[in-house]
Structure 1
């Protein structure tokens, strides 16, 4: 099943939940809540490692980032974030260090490496 929501497209394949954001200038808390709700419906109470493609997102409000990192982490085994460039990589890594998620989380600029990271958590 593929969920093609307003802000992201998501599906489960080979034990990994794929999550690809659509072009968004800035994610706010309301958007984050809708995105998480759709993801949890797709997961149907099963935990998955998550591949999250953030390349089309320009920014996220602090409240949205906090919501995604805390409440939005439910049913997440591990998280691989795919970003566009080294600047986005540095910002994402800083956020991860300060948020300290309870699940393994890494940021990548290479999709193949991100998916390889998730293999151990299937």
Structure 2
């Protein structure tokens, strides 16, 4: 895992840990009980500030999120996907699996999106979208 204290290419924000490796943006969500619309908007703002106008295939590690609201999921599927060429959602619990499946099937993100339970498979899938 990345060393967030010593690498200037890695940013730790209020909500996320962000870095680019192998042409893939890694967005690791910090532990939170509920992602609501305001929280989702803050995460997207932090991500967009970090990538500075460049689109990336992105790994979204949501293993430390407990729940999200419908409004947050709707936002993430649309405006929240700006400059994301493909999304791999890394989950770690049955509840997150249900939420991620719902997000993919009902919210229908505007980019290719898949759910994974292991980081290696997610990165392998995303590699086809990196330059």
Q: TM-score, normalised by structure 2?
A: 0.88
Question: Does the Cα contact within 8 Å between 1:32 and 1:68 map onto a contact in 2?
Answer: yes
Cα displacement (A) at 1:5: 1.0
Q: Secondary structure at the match of 1:121?
A: coil
Q: Which has the higher helix share?
A: 1
Q: Which residue of 2 aligns with 1:34?
A: 42
TM-score, normalised with respect to structure 1: 0.94
When the two chains are superposed, the root-mean-square deviation of aligned CA atoms in Å is 1.1
1:76 aligns to 2:84 (yes or no): yes
d(CA) in 1 for partners of 2:98, 2:36: 21
Output the CA distance in 2 between the equivalents of 1:26 and 1:86. 16
Gaps of 5+ in 1: none
- 2:5 matched to which residue of 1? none
Q: Does the 8 Å CA contact 1:49/1:77 hold for their aligned counterparts?
A: yes
Alignment partner of 1:81: what SS? Answer: strand
Q: Which aligned segments of 4 or more residues in structure 1 are displaced greater than 3 angstroms?
A: none
Flag structure 2 segments of 5+ consecutive residues without an equivalent. 1-8
